[in-house]
């Protein structure tokens, strides 16, 4: 039997969520040694085991309490909740964080030649999808009688293959749809990756470890959105310069050695500094304007 004192985290083995989930764990200080074919990966510096599985299995593993945490797309999570509700199984878990990757939408897409006037146009038609529960909920909300046809893969070829009249699939850019003569019509669910925890109490040690990691996750996500901006500015135009800097109510203003007319300004900004703004700063006499990425942030 496995060591129950180690935190168990379910993660997609290979697919669209794998790399970003592993990068996030590494960014918060969890060292990992992953061997491609193995189901389990151990952390080398924390009492953590990764269970590497198909994403379909992750919600159930968390809800059944087999693992402590899971990284999963909200689309998959919501579908599994509906599936379990239909089978009278409870779906207990806590969402700890909505993450900044895995963004996509579950959308209805139709062949370009279909005259689509809204979801009512699908009345009596067949729609291929990997997410029958989410799709049927949408049809029920809209009062449309259409049939969800379950396909676990190659959903986008279903209309051409004569298996369905339209599809309901995950979209991020729309390129796959276009390549198959389809286009997106209605977004039925917008999704990102989330970190979920099983319900019920964990041991004090495990909970303390999670509580230590959550601010780190926040710090990593915040850092990705933020920039560190540095520049030299003429003292005489300090107010004008400050008003041009995005999201900088209280920048740090530092004197420069042997230069009474110029100051250095440092600011952390959550907004981008556009080229046009940099040009305006330069026109005011600013120099050495630097915009730098931030790796980590705390407090
Ligand atoms: P598995 O073999 O683990 O079952 P899968 O084929 O079901 O993999 P992936 O295609 O790797 O799944 O997608 C995993 C998740 O990534 C999706 O459920 C969704 O949350 C997210 N995702 C982000 N962008 C996209 C996209 N463009 N297409 C599909 N999924 C996306
Ligand atoms: Mg899957």
Segments of the chain assigned E as strands:
7-12, 32-33, 40-43, 48-53, 69-73, 93-98, 104-111, 126-129, 147-150, 166-171, 182-191, 193-198, 227-234, 252-256, 259-269, 287-293
- Bridge partner residues of 150 (DSSP): 129
Which of 54-68, 130-144, 254-268 comes out lowest in average pLDDT?
Answer: 254-268
Give the pLDDT confidence of 208-237 residue by residue, as tens digits.
Answer: 999 999 999 999 999 998 999 999 999 999
SS3 262: strand
Structure tokens at 289: 């304007």
Give the pLDDT confidence of 3-44 residue by residue, as tens digits.
Answer: 789 999 999 999 999 999 999 999 999 999 988 888 999 999
CA of 16 from ligand 2 middle (Å) equals 10
Q: How many helices (H) and strands (E) does the chain have?
A: 8, 16
What's the order of all strands across the beta sheet hosting 193-198?
A: 32-33, 40-43, 48-53, 7-12, 69-73, 193-198, 93-98
The per-residue pLDDT for 2 is: 62
The per-residue pLDDT for 4 is: 80
Give the pLDDT confidence of 89-110 residue by residue, as tens digits.
Answer: 999 999 999 999 999 999 999 9
Q: Is the CB of 75 under 6 A from ligand 1?
A: yes
Q: How many CA atoms lie within 13 A of 154 on its CB side?
A: 7
User: Residues 112-116: what's their mean pLDDT?
Assistant: 95
Q: Alpha carbon of 129 to those of 146, 156, 209, 295: distances in Å?
A: 12, 9, 39, 39
More confident residue, 4 or 295: 295
The per-residue pLDDT for 76 is: 98
Sequential DSSP letters for 52-116: EE-GGGHHHHHHTTSSSEEEEEHHHHHHHHHHHHHTT----EEEEEE-SS--EEEEEEEETTS--
SS3 298: coil
Give the pLDDT confidence of 165-187 residue by residue, as tens digits.
Answer: 999 999 988 999 999 999 999 99
Q: Is the CB of 154 under 6 A from ligand 1?
A: no
Counting from 1 in the atom list of ligand 1, the atom nearest the Cα of 75 is: 20
Q: Is the CB of 218 under 6 A from ligand 1?
A: no
| pLDDT tier for residue 249 given thresholds of 50, 70 and 90 | low
Contact in structure between 248 and 267 (CB atoms under 8 Å): yes
CA of 58 from ligand 2 middle (Å) equals 9
């Amino acid at each position: 039997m496995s060591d129950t004192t180690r935190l168990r985290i379910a993660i997609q083995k290979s697919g669209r969520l794998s790399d970003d989930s592993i990068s996030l764990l590494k960014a918060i200080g969890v060292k990992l040694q992953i061997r491609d074919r193995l189901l389990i990966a151990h952390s080398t510096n924390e009492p953590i085991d990764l269970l590497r599985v198909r994403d379909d299995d992750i919600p159930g593993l968390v809800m059944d309490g087999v693992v402590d945490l899971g990284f999963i797309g909200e689309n998959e999570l919501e579908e599994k909740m509906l599936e379990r509700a239909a089978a009278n199984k409870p779906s207990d878990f806590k969402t700890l964080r909505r993450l900044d990757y895995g963004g996509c939408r579950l959308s209805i897409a139709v062949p370009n030649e279909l005259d689509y006037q809204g979801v009512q146009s699908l009345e009596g038609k067949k729609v291929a999808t990997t997410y029958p529960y989410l799709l049927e909920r949408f049809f029920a909300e809209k009062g449309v009688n259409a049939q969800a046809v379950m396909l676990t893969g190659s959903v986008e070829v279903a209309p051409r293959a004569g298996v369905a009249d339209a599809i309901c699939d995950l979209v991020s850019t729309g390129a796959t749809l276009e390549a198959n003569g389809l286009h997106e019509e209605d977004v039925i669910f917008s999704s990102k990756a989330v970190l979920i925890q099983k319900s019920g109490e964990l041991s004090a040690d495990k909970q303390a470890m999670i509580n230590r990691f959550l601010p780190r996750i926040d710090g990593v996500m915040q850092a990705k959105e933020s920039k560190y901006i540095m520049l030299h500015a003429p003292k005489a135009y300090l107010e004008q310069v400050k008003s041009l800097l995005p999201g900088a109510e209280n920048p740090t203003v530092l004197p420069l050695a042997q230069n009474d007319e110029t100051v250095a300004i440092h600011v952390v900004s959550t907004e981008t500094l556009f080229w046009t703004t940099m040009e305006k700063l330069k026109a005011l006499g600013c120099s050495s304007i630097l915009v730098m990425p931030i790796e980590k942030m705390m407090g």
